[in-house]
Structure 1
Amino acid sequence: MTSVFFKKAAIALTFCAITLSVSAQTKSNFKSWAQTPPMGWNSWDSYGPTVTEAEVKANADYMAANLKKLGWEYIVVDIRWFVENDKAGGYNQTDPIYVMDEYGRYLPSVKKFPSSANGKGFKPLADYMHSKGLKFGIHIMRGVPVKAVNEKLPIKGANGITADKIYTTELQCKWLRDNYTVLANKPGAQEYYNSIMELYASWGVDFIKIDDLSRPYHLGEIELIRKAIDKTGRPIVLSTSPGETPIANADHVKEHANMWRMVDDVWDIWKDLPHLMNVAQGWYPYIAPGTWPDCDMIPLGRIAIRGERGKDRMTRLTKDEQYSLMSFFTILRSPLMFGGDLPSNDAFTTSLLTNTAVLKMHRESTDVKQLFMKDGLLAVTSRNSKTGERYIALFNIGDKDTRDISVNLKDLGVTGKVKVKDLWSGATNTQTDAVLSRSIAPHASVLVSVGK
C-alpha cells in the first residue's frame, strides 16, 4: 500500500514538473513566434464589424495564390464576429444580439460564419486557412462581456466563481461597450482569460488582436492574457491595440506582446502618416525579433466596402503618398496587415505588396535608426547583416515645396564606390560621392539600398 502511494506521488510530481517546464518553456519562447514582422490581411478597413465567411475565404484564396510565397500568411477576422446584427458603417450598440456559450465566451455568429454552426466555432474556418498554408487570427475586446456579468454566468475552471465577481465599470471602453474591465487581482480573473484562450486554441487560432488594451495601458489584464496564452501551449501571436501605447510601458509591453500599436487607426488621409512618423521616434530601440512596434493596418487598395469611415472607394492617398506609407512601414519593420479587399487589387496596389527587394529589406534588415526628422524632412536607415547593404529611406513630409534631402554615407560606414539601387523601381547607378542626395516632391519619398 505504501509502495503504491509513493509510486503515485512520484508520478504526480513528475507530471507537475513536466507541466511547469512546458509552461516556462512556452513563456520564454513566445518571442520566437514572430521572428520577422507578421504579414497578413485584416478585415477591418474593408468590412468593419460585418465581414462574412465568404469574404474572409475570398481574401484567403487570393493570399494563398498570390502573396503567400512572399511571406504574407495571416488572415485576421476583426471586430464583433460574435454580433448577429451589426450594420455597415458602425456598431449596433442599442440592441446587439450577442452569441456566447454558457461560460460567457463569445462564439461566431452563424449568420456571418455558417461553418461555425453546431458549436464548431471558428475551427472549420481555421482549418480552411491551415489547409492553404495560411494562419488564422481573430480580434477581441479587452474584458468580460457585460451580458455575462448581468446574467452572472459561471467562469469555466473557476470553481463556481461567476462573471459578476471579477469586473469593474471603471475604464470601460468609451467607444464600444460590449465588455467591462476585468479586475486582475480578483479570484477567477485569470481563469476567465484562461478559458477564452483555451477556446481559441481549440479552434486553431494563430493570432489574436486585443483592442482597448494599450490606451490607457491595462498592465494587469495584459499580464493575465500573456499567462493565459502561455498556458494553452499554442503559439498564438499577441497584438495589442490601439495606440498610442505609452512609451513609459515599452519595457513591459515588449515582454508580454509580440506587437503593439504606436498610434490610433491610420486611414487613407495624409496627416495620419506624419503623425505616425513623429510618434515612432520613441520606438526605434524596441524593434526586435518577436516584438514589433506596430504602425497599424495598411489602408490601401479598395477599402470601406462596409467599413467605418467613408464610402466604398480605392484609397484616397496619391501614388507618392502610398509609396511613402509603404516605405516607412517596411523600413521600420512594422507588422504588415493589409486592410484593402485583396481580390479587388489593381496592378499598382499589387506592386506595393509584391516588391521582393522591399520585402527582403523588411524581413532581413536590422539596426533600424532615424537619422533625422526636422523641417519637414525625415531620413531613416537600416542595414542587412547578411549582404552588408545599407538601406536608406528619405521622406519629404512637407505640403508645399520640392526639397533636397541629403545623407552623408561616411556617417553610415559606407565609403568609396558604391551601387545605389532604388528598391521600388529597381533602377541602379554607381557613385563615389560620399553624399547621397535626392530632390523630393511634397509627400513623396525615396527608398534605396547602398552597397558595394
Structure 2
Amino acid sequence: MAQNDPLAPSGRFAVVQSGAAQTPPMGWNPWNAFHADVDEAKVRAVAKAMVDSGLAARGYRFVNIDDGWALRRLADGRLQIRSNTFPSSHVEGSATGSFKPFTDALHALGLKAGIYTDIGRNTCMQRWDAGVPNLPVGSVAERQVGSFGYAVTDMRTIFADWRFDYIKVDACGVADYTPADPPVTSGAYNAFPPLIVRGNIPASDPKAIEGLYAALGDAVRRWGGETATLSICAWGEALSVLWGPRRGNLYRTSPDIESNWKSMLANIDSVVDGALYAGPGHWNDPDMLEIGHGDFDAAHPTEARSHFTMWTIMAAPLLLGYDLRHPDPALHAIVSNPEVIAIDQDAAGNQGIGYRDGDAMVVVRTLAAAGTRAVAFLNRGAVPVEARVSWRQLGFAPGSHARVRDVWARRDDAAASDLIRVTLPAHGSALLRVTGTPADPGAVPLDAMPARIHVAVDGLSRANALPMGRFPARVGATPDGAPLIAGGQPVGGIGVFANSRLEVHADRAFSRLVATPRVLGGTGPVRFQVYADRRLVQEVSAAPGKAASIVADIRFASVVELVTRQPSNGGRPPMVAWSAARMVR
C-alpha cells in the first residue's frame, strides 16, 4: 500500500463523537429576536423565562450571545467587552472586563453559556450591518475582534477565564473583506484575500478554511475540555459540511435562514441528503429556528409546526430565536412538545432519510428503540396533497403490522400494514412514531445506521467537487440522487464515488458484512475492499454496469472500512454503490 495513501485504512472512526453534543444542542440565540440590539438585561431575562416556562427542563439549556459583544481588541491582543451593554462584565482596574459574572449567573440557573467570534479578523456584523449599534470601536486594528491570529489566546480567555461552554464561529472575515468590498475601499477595514468565494468551491480554499477551524477547535478543547461545543458557521461553503464532522460539533449547511417558507425549504434541502455526515458529537445545522417570526409566527401555527417537525426529523440543533420574555402559548406548545423533542434527541443520532414525490416529502429516521422509526410528512406546496410511506422505506417485513403514534397529537392511532397515507393541508406536516417488525431482524442495513458511518474520503477533489447542497455520499441513492435499483426494485445501500473510503463504527457488535457492490458508470473495473480494524478481509472487482458479491467476516471489529479503488485519470471517478449492504449480528 502506497505511503500517504488516503484510501489506506485508519482503523478509527475519525469524527467528533465523544464529549460535547452527544445529542443536537438545544437552546436560544438572540440574533433573530434582537439582531444587534442585544444587552445583558434582555439575555438574562430570557434565560430566566426559559427556566420558569419549563423549556430548560425540556432540554433548552444553551443561552448564546451572538455578534456585538466585543468593544475592541487592545494593543496587547486581549479583547475588551462592551461593558455598557453587559454591565456585570465591568471589573475595577481591568482593561478588558470579564464575562465570568454573566456565565456564573447562567450556570446558577442550570443553563450553559455560549458566545460568538469569527474565524477571520472581523465579524459579519461589521461587514453587513454598518449602521447598527454595538459595532466595535477604535482604530482599524482595534476593530479587528475576530479570532484570526488569536485563536489560542481568545479561546483561553473565553473558556478558561470566562467559563463559556459553547462558541459559534462565523466566517465572514475570510469571505467578505476583499479589496473590492466597500468597507475595505472606504478605508474602514483592512483587506483579507478571500479564502471563501461564496458559491464558488473551485475559487475557494477549503483546506485553508478547515485548517483555521481545526486550530481553533484544538484550542477550544484545550481550554474548554471535551464538553465544550464548537459551532462552525461557514454556511456550507468551502466544503465545510464534508470536513465539519472532523472539526466541530455542528456545522452550517446553508446561508442564513430567513423568516419565510421558501427560505426554510431551501435550508431543508441543504441538509436532508446529508445523513452520512451527522451523528453523536457532530451534527448538520440548517440554522437557527425562525419560529416566532414572519411565516412562522403565532398567526401561522401550521408553518411553525412544520418548521419544527423538519428540524426534529433531521436531527438538527434546536436553537430558538424569538423573545421568550413575551411567550405565546401556541408557539410554546410547539417547541415544548416532549415527544417531538425526544425524536430530535434520540440517542442513536441517525438523521432522517428523505423521499420526494412532487410537493409531498417524507423523511424516515431510525430511532434507538428496536424496530422503531420516526416519520415526518411535509407538504411543501400551497394546495393539499397525499403523502405516503411504504414498509420498504421503513425497513419492515411485508405484510406485518406496526403500531402508530401521532406524536403531535400525543395519541396512538390504528395499527397499519404495508403503507401509511396521510393527507396534508397547504404547508402542513405530520409526525409519527412507528414500531414494527424489521424485514431482517438479524441484520442492520447501512441505510438504517448512518450515524455509525463516516465518509473519510469521497473520491472527489476541489476541482470536481459537487455544488453546494449536494453530498458525494448518499443513503439509498447515488450522489446525483438516483435511487439504487437492481432488477427493477430499490435495493438500498450507500452510493458514492470510486476512490472513496467509508468508516463504519461497528463497535464489535456484528459478525458479517453482506453487500452487492456495483459500478454505475465509467470505463474500467473498480476494486471493492472490506477492512476490519485495518485488516483486509475481502476484496472483489466489478466492471461498469456489473455487480459483485461480498460476505465479509468482521467478527470482533471495532471499525469496518469500505474502500473502492480505480486508477485515477484526473477526472471525476465513476459512481459506485455498496448495494443492499447490511451488518449481520
TM range (shorter): 0.7 to 0.9
Structure-2 residue corresponding to 1:195: 153
Q: CA RMSD in A?
A: 2.8
**Helix, strand or coil: the match of 2:261?**
coil
Cα distance change on mapping 1:261 and 1:371 into 2, 3 Å: closer
CA shift, 1:282, in A, is 3.7
Structure-2 residue corresponding to 1:440: 424
CA shift, 1:196, in A, is 0.5
Q: 1:258-308 CA deviation, whole Å, 9 max, x = no partner?
A: 10111122122110121112221342211200001112111123x5xxxxx
CA shift, 1:355, in A, is 0.7
Equivalent of 1:175, from 114, 125, 128? 128
Q: How does 1:384-395 map to 2 (within 5 A)?
A: 384-386=367-369, 388-395=371-378
Cα distance change on mapping 1:56 and 1:173 into 2, 3 Å: closer
Q: TM-score, normalised by structure 1?
A: 0.75
Cα distance in structure 2, aligned partners of 1:240 and 1:32 = 17
Counterpart amino acid of 1:70?
A: R
Structure-2 residue corresponding to 1:378: 361
1:222 maps onto 2:213 in alignment = yes
Cα distance change on mapping 1:198 and 1:366 into 2, 3 Å: closer
Cα distance change on mapping 1:251 and 1:261 into 2, 3 Å: closer
Counterpart amino acid of 1:197?
A: M
Counterpart amino acid of 1:35?
A: Q
Quick check: 2:73–2:144 contact (8 Å CA) kept in 1? no
Quick check: 1:211–1:242 contact (8 Å CA) kept in 2? yes
Cα distance in structure 1, aligned partners of 2:390 and 2:84 = 59
Equivalent of 1:333, from 290, 302, 315? 315
Q: 1:68-116 CA deviation, whole Å, 9 max, x = no partner?
A: 211110000111112xxxxxxxxxxxxxxx3344433332211101101
1:209 maps onto 2:196 in alignment = no
Q: 1:5-36 CA deviation, whole Å, 9 max, x = no partner?
A: xxxxxxxxxxxxxxxxxxxxxx9977421101
**Helix, strand or coil: the match of 1:112?**
coil
Structure-1 residue corresponding to 2:269: 278
Structure-2 residue corresponding to 1:419: 403
Quick check: 1:269–1:316 contact (8 Å CA) kept in 2? no
**Helix, strand or coil: the match of 1:133?**
coil
CA shift, 1:425, in A, is 1.1
Cα distance in structure 1, aligned partners of 2:147 and 2:104 = 31
Higher deviation after alignment, 193-202 or 217-226: 217-226
Q: 1:127-179 CA deviation, whole Å, 9 max, x = no partner?
A: 00111111000111222359xxxxxxxxxxxxxxxxxxxxxxxx998536854
Cα distance in structure 1, aligned partners of 2:296 and 2:389 = 35
Counterpart amino acid of 1:378?
A: M
CA shift, 1:426, in A, is 1.2
**Helix, strand or coil: the match of 1:398?**
coil
Report the count of equivalent residues.
369
CA shift, 1:210, in A, is 1.0
1:122 maps onto 2:99 in alignment = yes
Cα distance in structure 1, aligned partners of 2:108 and 2:332 = 24
Structure-2 residue corresponding to 1:362: 344
Q: 1:49-68 CA deviation, whole Å, 9 max, x = no partner?
A: 12111111111111122212
Structure-2 residue corresponding to 1:162: none
Counterpart amino acid of 1:392?
A: V
Cα distance in structure 2, aligned partners of 1:67 and 1:432 = 34
Q: How does 1:126-141 map to 2 (within 5 A)?
A: 126-141=103-118
Quick check: 2:241–2:252 contact (8 Å CA) kept in 1? no
Q: How does 1:305-344 map to 2 (within 5 A)?
A: 315=297, 318-344=300-326
Counterpart amino acid of 1:298?
A: L
Q: How does 1:60-75 map to 2 (within 5 A)?
A: 60-65=47-52, 66-75=54-63
Quick check: 1:31–1:258 contact (8 Å CA) kept in 2? no
Counterpart amino acid of 1:244?
A: G
Quick check: 1:239–1:260 contact (8 Å CA) kept in 2? yes
Structure-2 residue corresponding to 1:19: none
CA shift, 1:252, in A, is 1.9
1:290 maps onto 2:281 in alignment = yes
Whichever structure has more strand as a proportion of its residues is 2
Cα distance in structure 2, aligned partners of 1:332 and 1:28 = 19
Quick check: 2:73–2:145 contact (8 Å CA) kept in 1? no
**Helix, strand or coil: the match of 1:115?**
helix
**Helix, strand or coil: the match of 1:271?**
helix
Q: 1:346-369 CA deviation, whole Å, 9 max, x = no partner?
A: 111111121111111111154333
Q: How does 1:35-54 map to 2 (within 5 A)?
A: 35-54=22-41
**Helix, strand or coil: the match of 2:81?**
coil
Cα distance change on mapping 1:54 and 1:181 into 2, 3 Å: closer
Structure-1 residue corresponding to 2:77: 104
Higher deviation after alignment, 72-81 or 381-390: 381-390
Cα distance in structure 2, aligned partners of 1:126 and 1:244 = 30
Counterpart amino acid of 1:140?
A: T
Counterpart amino acid of 1:211?
A: D
Structure-2 residue corresponding to 1:346: 328
Cα distance in structure 2, aligned partners of 1:62 and 1:173 = 30
Cα distance in structure 1, aligned partners of 2:147 and 2:89 = 27
Quick check: 2:16–2:249 contact (8 Å CA) kept in 1? no
Whichever structure has more helix as a proportion of its residues is 1
1:142 maps onto 2:119 in alignment = yes
CA shift, 1:180, in A, is 8.8
CA shift, 1:431, in A, is 2.6
Higher deviation after alignment, 210-219 or 357-366: 210-219
**Helix, strand or coil: the match of 1:32?**
coil
Structure-2 residue corresponding to 1:150: none
Quick check: 1:50–1:81 contact (8 Å CA) kept in 2? no
Cα distance in structure 2, aligned partners of 1:375 and 1:28 = 35
Cα distance in structure 2, aligned partners of 1:341 and 1:172 = 20
Structure-2 residue corresponding to 1:166: none
Higher relative contact order (CA 8 A, sep 6+): 1
Structure-1 residue corresponding to 2:243: 252
Cα distance in structure 1, aligned partners of 2:389 and 2:288 = 30
Cα distance change on mapping 1:257 and 1:29 into 2, 3 Å: closer
Structure-2 residue corresponding to 1:94: none
Cα distance in structure 2, aligned partners of 1:434 and 1:394 = 17
Cα distance change on mapping 1:390 and 1:281 into 2, 3 Å: closer
Cα distance change on mapping 1:321 and 1:145 into 2, 3 Å: closer
